[in-house]
Amino acid sequence: MTSKTQGISPEQSAVIKAYQDKISAQVQEAKAKLEVLEATARQKKAQAEIAAIASLKTAKQDIETRLKDLKTTSESNASRAKAEIDAEVAKFKSSIADLGAKLKTHTAAK
């Protein structure tokens, strides 16, 4: 069985590693915000928001899996894979921001 990494140059490998580190930092920051929102939602017994948080946790895991898979992506597909990951991270962070706004509204309504 041959490895897909054979076609990746050391330079490309370094670029992918730097990209993975950058995205991982963004995901960890968003995860911290998500944990705060989860605590708030549980405290307020906001069931819809708790369900949304569960969905966002799954999205976070998907992003992390894609990042790991990026190591074995060929150079020719790396740009497309990074663009897809960037879009997922943007959606993830936006969803967290929307959820935060909903929780603030939920708090104001009570």
Handedness of CA 96, 98, 101, 102 (dihedral sign): negative
pLDDT computed for residue 71 by the predictor:
83
Percent of the chain whose predicted confidence (pLDDT) is above 90: 62
pLDDT digit string (tens) for 59-98? 999 999 999 998 888 888 889 999 999 999 999 999 999 9
Q: What is the pTM of this model?
A: 0.82
Q: Which residues of 35-45 are buried (b: 16+ CB within 10 A; e: fewer)?
A: eebbebbeeee
Nearest-10 crossing angle of helices 47-70, 75-109? 170
Please provide residue 2's backbone torsions phi and psi, each rounded to the nearest 5 degrees: -95, 150
Q: What is the mean pLDDT of the chain?
A: 87
pLDDT computed for residue 22 by the predictor:
96
Q: Is 72 helix (H, G, I), strand (E, B) or coil?
A: coil
Query: In what helix (H) or strand (E) does residue 50 lie, and over which residues does it extend?
Result: helix 47-70
pLDDT computed for residue 106 by the predictor:
67
Q: Average of pLDDT values for 19-30? A: 95
Domain boundaries, the chain: 10-109
Q: Average of pLDDT values for 102-109? A: 73
Whether the pLDDT of residue 15 is over 60: the answer is yes
Our CA angle for 8, 9, 13, nearest 5°, is 75
